[in-house]
């Protein structure tokens, strides 16, 4: 009987481990531009010195109220703990052009999207993280 209980507990432990968060923790924040929500901007988290082609994508889309939540190339929401460079790009869509939306240049003129010279940096801890707002200016 003890063997059966031990096997069941081992199976349950393995099942719970497979449902883990892949070492990811929820990350949220807010992005404003001159005090107004940067609705539609894209927030990217990259490891300093990381390889953009091989690292998992970690990103969020800024909502109408300026808030965002990160999602990852790994299943689930959030990001693994550690230091990150933050890149932000804000391309507003204009009206359709021959059936496709026309993208305009980055409202921020690439200032916050240069991976070689990131202006923003954060540290994600091994817990749910609500970041201080990113206040963007020209």
Domain that holds residue 39: 23-136
**Residue 58: per-residue pLDDT:** 95
- Domain presence at residue 16: no
What is the C-alpha separation between 116 and 123, in angstroms, rounded?
A: 18
**Residue 15: per-residue pLDDT:** 36
Q: Which CATH number do you get for residue 123?
A: 2.60.40.10
**Residue 56: per-residue pLDDT:** 78
Q: Are the CB atoms for 43 and 60 separated by under 8 Å?
A: yes
- Domain presence at residue 120: yes
**Residue 17: per-residue pLDDT:** 39
- Domain presence at residue 34: yes
- Domain presence at residue 18: no
What is the C-alpha separation between 56 and 29, in angstroms, rounded?
A: 20
Residues of the chain with pLDDT under 50: 1-20
Instruction: Read off the tokens for 97.
Output: 């052009």
Give the angle 68-121-57 at the CA atoms, nearest 5°.
55
**Residue 6: per-residue pLDDT:** 32
pTM for the model: 0.77
**Residue 95: per-residue pLDDT:** 57
**Residue 50: per-residue pLDDT:** 79
């Amino acid at each position: 009987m003890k063997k059966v209980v031990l096997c069941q507990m081992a199976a349950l432990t393995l099942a719970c481990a497979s449902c883990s968060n892949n070492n990811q923790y929820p990350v949220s924040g807010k992005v404003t531009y001159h005090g107004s929500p940067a609705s539609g901007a894209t927030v990217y988290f990259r490891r300093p010195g990381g390889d953009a082609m091989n690292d998992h994508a970690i990103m969020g889309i800024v909502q109408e109220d300026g808030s965002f939540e990160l999602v990852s190339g790994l299943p689930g929401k959030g990001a693994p703990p550690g230091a990150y460079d933050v890149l932000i790009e804000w391309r507003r869509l204009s009206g359709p052009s021959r059936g496709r939306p026309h993208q305009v240049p980055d409202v921020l003129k690439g200032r916050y999207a240069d991976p070689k010279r990131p202006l923003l940096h954060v540290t994600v801890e091994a817990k749910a993280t609500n970041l201080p707002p990113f206040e963007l200016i020209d």
